Amino acid sequence: MILGLMQTSPLLVSGILRYAASAHGGREIVSRLIDEPIWRYNYEGLARRAAQAAHALARLGVKPGDRVTSLAWNTHRHLELFYAAPGLGAVLHTANPRLSDEQIVFTINHAASRVLLFDRNFADLVARLAPRLTSIETFVMLSDAERTHPAGVEAASYEALIAGEAGTFDWPTMDENAGAFLCYTSGTTGDPKGVLYSHRAVVLHAMAGGLASAFGLTAFDVVMPCSSLYHATAWGLPFTAPICGAKLVLPADKMDGASLHRLIQDEGVTFTGGVPTIWTMYLAYLEQTGERPVALKRVVIGGSAVPRAMAETFKTRYGVDVLQIWGMTETCPLGVIATPTPALAALGEDAMNEAIWTRQGRLQFGIELRVEAEDGSEAPRDGETSGALKVRGPWVVRRYYRKDEDAADVDGWFDTGDIATLDQNGFLRITDRQKDVIKSGGEWISSIDLENIAAGCPGVKIAAVVGVPHPKWEERPLLVIETHEGAAVAKADVLAFLEPRIVKWWTPDDVVFAPVPLTATGKIDKKVLREAWRSHLTG
């Protein structure tokens, strides 16, 4: 081996910002805010204010390698933190407000963050958590100076903080493997696990997303990420959009159909993405009002399987292509994207749509997929044989944050916990899940955690929780209880028992009393339960 003689400039998040400001400086960024008017600027403005924010963070004592936490919606201020913190060499921990108080506290303390920057409507939450946040030295409200209320916690105003700072920052050159973002996943039981994205992973992932055969954004696109910025960096769209020169539209927390439609129409959104729940609401809104999106061309849907009817409605009624994606926090998150191929097109439009609407996506450059049979061999790519889905590649987790063991095996394969098939066209179909988790509106609920808590309720012999189909949230938890002989337990008793012990949105949609089937090895047979109760919430 001899070394090449090309430049080895590191792939850094700051390079994306520098490019966008230089090549697409005038391209707009539009952001809704919490109780403030819509904000408008452009990539030049983003570069200027990200520099100001970086100076402000540095003034607060944030140094390279330090962690900073955001608890925020999809706004331009949050976007500025996406560039400011990693730009100066710090790590942005994007806390997930959907977690329980305990879990949020755990993640911030686990990250040992020094600064917490939060949106105004998280003020109560922050005031409640503040006494337990052992590492936070500075609280900053992402708000203008006038609107920063005292909130049970001493918080500076973001706008006041950055106001006097210089609009340029000499972004340091550093190792591209430096940590940039810390995203916790609560997908499985136990404490949330941190995935520490490197600059290299973020940049490569953003480039892969910008490939014409992936998201295919051009400078003419207007991109509105409805996936949360705190969820695996909103699928990398805050990086892919500037790389491609696309306009960015940020909807804050207004994910209802009317609010989204307003932005889609007013800003000429051509490309958006989010979990199915959002699009259920959006399609219902269109249906009710008879309105039609004008410029919208593509909706990327992921986080949960896309209902076939949703994809069909978007396409046939509104002429909008649906691109399914599959991925997870551990994959930055892009794994596969369901973009068409000539092999599919050759089957005819109906068959092609069917394939695209019922599969999670196809192999993308950079990510390797392996469906593994129980004996460890690779399953044939016949679209039939299912097995454990494993992934590897330059934007796949190697090890969780502050763990002593790698999450991937020696060959780099990370077990996703999903059961899947691959077909000869390279299309992936998720068929089942190894892990006992429920995905409600794109958020994970641990059925095992719920079971463990419910099992503590007096009179309960076995508590089993399964995810069952739900018209809005895709999947919601159903609690099946087998009581001790002679015990009299009512639904209200169980719910009252759970209420102080779980975050509100984990509350099972129903509690039913029935014998719980067990597998041969004495485990709860979730497959049988899911099948038996699958229509319980949908009728």
Write out the catalytic residue numbers. Answer: 185, 330, 439, 444
Residues 10-39 that bind a copy of itself (CB under 8 A): 11, 16, 18-19, 22-24, 26-27
By CB under 8 A, residue 215 contacts a copy of itself? yes
CA nearest 158: which of 136, 182, 181, 138?
Answer: 138
The residue within the footprint of a copy of itself, chosen from 45, 87, 89, 441 (CB under 8 A), is 89
How near is the Cβ of 50 to a copy of itself at its closest, in Å?
A: 17
By CB under 8 A, residue 419 contacts a copy of itself? no
Instruction: Give the span between the Cα atoms of 306 and 300, in whole angstroms.
Output: 10
By CB under 8 A, residue 298 contacts a copy of itself? no
Beta bridge mates, 87: none
Residues 364-393 that bind a copy of itself (CB under 8 A): 364-366, 368, 392-393
Q: Is 44 exposed, middle or buried (0-12, 13-18, 19+ CB in 10 A)?
A: middle
Cβ proximity to a copy of itself, 250 vs 396, nearer residue: 396
By CB under 8 A, residue 459 contacts a copy of itself? no
Cβ proximity to a copy of itself, 158 vs 215, nearer residue: 215
How near is the Cβ of 340 to a copy of itself at its closest, in Å?
A: 7
Residue 307: DSSP 8-state: P
CA nearest 196: which of 404, 399, 411, 416?
Answer: 399
The span of 43-51, 334-342, 482-490, 497-505 binding a copy of itself (CB under 8 A) equals 334-342
The residue within the footprint of a copy of itself, chosen from 60, 127, 281, 343 (CB under 8 A), is 343
Cβ proximity to a copy of itself, 197 vs 473, nearer residue: 197
CA nearest 142: which of 104, 202, 200, 94?
Answer: 94
By CB under 8 A, residue 496 contacts a copy of itself? no
Beta bridge mates, 445: 438
By CB under 8 A, residue 342 contacts a copy of itself? yes
Cβ proximity to a copy of itself, 92 vs 286, nearer residue: 92
Cβ proximity to a copy of itself, 189 vs 425, nearer residue: 425
Q: Residue 389 in contact with residue 428, Cβ under 8 Å?
A: yes
By CB under 8 A, residue 297 contacts a copy of itself? no
How near is the Cβ of 299 to a copy of itself at its closest, in Å?
A: 17
Residue 315: DSSP 8-state: I
The residue within the footprint of a copy of itself, chosen from 147, 315, 399, 461 (CB under 8 A), is 399
Q: Residue 537 in contact with residue 478, Cβ under 8 Å?
A: yes
Structure tokens at 290: 């008879």
By CB under 8 A, residue 61 contacts a copy of itself? no
Structure tokens at 279: 């699009």
Q: Residue 440 in contact with residue 426, Cβ under 8 Å?
A: no
Q: Residue 86 in contact with residue 13, Cβ under 8 Å?
A: yes
Cβ proximity to a copy of itself, 26 vs 458, nearer residue: 26
How near is the Cβ of 423 to a copy of itself at its closest, in Å?
A: 11
Nearest 5°: CA angle at 240, between 440 and 198? 80
Instruction: Give the span between the Cα atoms of 532 and 514, in whole angstroms.
Output: 11
Instruction: Give the span between the Cα atoms of 10 and 359, in whole angstroms.
Output: 36
The residue within the footprint of a copy of itself, chosen from 195, 229, 388, 480 (CB under 8 A), is 195
By CB under 8 A, residue 266 contacts a copy of itself? no
By CB under 8 A, residue 231 contacts a copy of itself? no
Question: Is the preceding peptide bond at 192 cis, omega within 30 degrees of 0?
Answer: no
